[in-house]
Chains A and B, each alone.
Chain A
């Protein structure tokens, strides 16, 4: 009667309404690991299985009662006749025949998938933990190598503080302190500022060592590059190296972990300093160049030096772990390999660009529009099955992008950030967006001009301006002509932002 089920890959058993077994297919034998002799001797299906943390009997009874397709959640099924268990999803469906009404119970065995998933998840966790340890080790090594620099950084303000403290002591011995009041205030101010400088150095060191590894935020590559140079200033001065900075673009905002990117830049500049010091070049120079790739708009930082360059024979292994050209004890050989991994984790790249003389390392970081789009896409990341409203925020200030991203993502919006109106226009042209928020005062073009161009692209959704109260007049003019849905007045609160956006979206639908 049920022979056509013989050829199914899926294990299947047919039961009557009292849960008595009438048929099982060969796959069911393989699944239960029981001979047909044993299965034929069983009365009811519950003699075979029990579920862990799931009321199998209740589920079966409900399915038999409604006589409709019923699917269980993924459950751990214990085989009562053997010691094994399986991860399965069960399906119960009715079979109405002349001989009577039956139900088929088919088994989707997910044991292999579940075991693989658990195994690989554990391995990935181990890899992550190892990677974090290597990163930390590299930071410690870098910091160790920079001890001389840090000591120098601290000793300068310390000398100033100590000198001023002695001066205060001398002043305090004077009979009439009122005459020296101005001197005392200045000396005390110098002491306080020096101590603040030392505190700031120590805070930076702590941050460099212990700040959360995965936190990414909108930040300026120019600022991080300058900060990295600050770390190495005394080494640069010690070796009389000239530093040339060529910042060819103002739009240097990226979505990155500041500390990690700083770690890469410090590594690369330090390598250049070491190479120049070792080679004793006549007028040693390091050039830091920031620009945008005209083709793909990636943010580029080139770190060049006029040293001896990297020998052709080792260029292929340059980014391999433990590859070093330094003397024993002077480098871990991990810096470049870790730096490349850090850039990879930012969807960026680190490459060596061969030069006629000297060497050049190129860091590339993706434009923030695409990166923030993929990062916020909860569907492709498997976090959600429903797409939240897509909002693009355009502002040249990274702090504003960070604040708005934080506000809106916590409300379920899919936020795309842009620091450049031109890049934003390219993105708006290609993507399906629900709302646009633009700053009014931006260096490239104004928010007003940008909105005009957005409307020319036939974008019909709401546009919101954001600016200070002095620009309200522009909003009033554009409200009708460019259909501007509202204005966020800086500084704004979370509730103001969320409410304005909700209203704008509700009106547009």
Chain B
């Protein structure tokens, strides 16, 4: 049984689809088939697991959407970015990543944080500066390999 929850909201002719749970072999995207809105924005904030079978389901789903539909990806967690960097076809042609999470580490309070970034903040595959949400220290360290993590911005 699908452990993926889908919630749709139509705001000003832009459809926002909130996805929560796991995208795996049981993920059922049927409720999203036959959508006709020109722009669909997917919010991945509450996705907890994405595996290769789920990616297959996702690719199968977006391939069925009309060619003219533009997809926006919002609040992509680290697991989505890692899979996007490894698998071809997660993006539909003409789609756009609006925002995504990136791992940071605060040397002051020794805590890890996921900081929400927008794509325009990334220049030359370098992570932008971030402030620790726990202790307020500026200059957190990026906690992944920059070249690899931001690779999806080049291939998009």
Interface set of A (CB-CB < 8 Å, partner B)? 6, 9, 26-27, 29-30, 35-37, 112, 116
A9 touches B86 (CB 8 A): yes
Taken residue by residue from 44 to 57, chain B's Cβ proximity to chain A (1 for < 8 Å, 0 otherwise) reads as: 00000001110000
A residues less than 8 Å from B25 (CB atoms)? 116
A sample of 4 more A-B contacts (CB under 8 A), given A35-B103, A37-B141, is: A26-B148, A30-B86, A36-B143, A36-B144
B143 touches A35 (CB 8 A): yes
B residues less than 8 Å from A26 (CB atoms)? 85, 145, 148
B143 touches A37 (CB 8 A): yes
Q: Which of B53, B82, B105 contacts A30 (CB 8 A)?
A: B82
Complex CA–CA separation, A116 to B141 (angstroms)? 38
Measured CB to CB, the nearest residue on chain A to B26 is: A119
Considering only residues 123-144 of chain B, those with a C-beta below 8 Å from chain A are 141, 143-144
Known: A35-B103, A35-B105, A116-B25. A29 touches B144 (CB 8 A): yes
Measured CB to CB, the nearest residue on chain B to A6 is: B148
A29 touches B145 (CB 8 A): yes
* Least Cβ–Cβ distance between B127 and chain A, in angstroms: 12
A residues less than 8 Å from B105 (CB atoms)? 35, 37
A residues less than 8 Å from B143 (CB atoms)? 35-37
B145 touches A36 (CB 8 A): yes
* Least Cβ–Cβ distance between B55 and chain A, in angstroms: 11
B residues less than 8 Å from A6 (CB atoms)? 148
Known: A35-B143, A37-B141. A112 touches B52 (CB 8 A): yes
On chain B, which size bracket covers the interface? 10 to 19
| B28 is an interface residue with CB less than 8 A from chain A | no
Interchain residue pairs A-B with the least CB separation, the first 8: A35-B143, A26-B148, A30-B82, A112-B51, A26-B145, A36-B145, A112-B52, A37-B143
B residues less than 8 Å from A112 (CB atoms)? 51-53
A residues less than 8 Å from B148 (CB atoms)? 6, 26, 29
Complex CA–CA separation, A35 to B78 (angstroms)? 11
Taken residue by residue from 66 to 96, chain B's Cβ proximity to chain A (1 for < 8 Å, 0 otherwise) reads as: 0000000000000000100110000000000
A residues less than 8 Å from B141 (CB atoms)? 37
Complex CA–CA separation, A332 to B141 (angstroms)? 70
| B98 is an interface residue with CB less than 8 A from chain A | no
A residues less than 8 Å from B144 (CB atoms)? 29, 35-36
Known: A9-B86, A30-B86. A35 touches B52 (CB 8 A): no
Known: A29-B144, A29-B145. A35 touches B112 (CB 8 A): yes
Complex CA–CA separation, A30 to B148 (angstroms)? 11
Complex CA–CA separation, A37 to B104 (angstroms)? 11
Complex CA–CA separation, A30 to B83 (angstroms)? 9
Complex CA–CA separation, A112 to B53 (angstroms)? 8
Complex CA–CA separation, A37 to B107 (angstroms)? 11
Measured CB to CB, the nearest residue on chain B to A30 is: B82
* Least Cβ–Cβ distance between A41 and chain B, in angstroms: 12
A116 touches B53 (CB 8 A): yes
Complex CA–CA separation, A26 to B53 (angstroms)? 21
Measured CB to CB, the nearest residue on chain B to A116 is: B25
Complex CA–CA separation, A37 to B110 (angstroms)? 12
B residues less than 8 Å from A37 (CB atoms)? 105, 141, 143
* Most chain B Cβ neighbours within 10 Å, of A27, A30, A36: A30
Complex CA–CA separation, A26 to B25 (angstroms)? 25
Complex CA–CA separation, A37 to B148 (angstroms)? 15
A residues less than 8 Å from B103 (CB atoms)? 35
* Most chain A Cβ neighbours within 10 Å, of B25, B103, B148: B148
Complex CA–CA separation, A112 to B52 (angstroms)? 8
B residues less than 8 Å from A29 (CB atoms)? 144-145, 148
Complex CA–CA separation, A116 to B86 (angstroms)? 21
Complex CA–CA separation, A112 to B23 (angstroms)? 13
Complex CA–CA separation, A9 to B145 (angstroms)? 16
A residues less than 8 Å from B51 (CB atoms)? 112
Measured CB to CB, the nearest residue on chain B to A24 is: B145
* Least Cβ–Cβ distance between A188 and chain B, in angstroms: 66
* Most chain A Cβ neighbours within 10 Å, of B52, B141, B145: B145
Complex CA–CA separation, A200 to B145 (angstroms)? 79
* Least Cβ–Cβ distance between A48 and chain B, in angstroms: 17
B residues less than 8 Å from A30 (CB atoms)? 82, 86
* Least Cβ–Cβ distance between A465 and chain B, in angstroms: 56
Considering only residues 26-53 of chain B, those with a C-beta below 8 Å from chain A are 51-53
Complex CA–CA separation, A112 to B22 (angstroms)? 14
Complex CA–CA separation, A116 to B26 (angstroms)? 11
B residues less than 8 Å from A27 (CB atoms)? 86
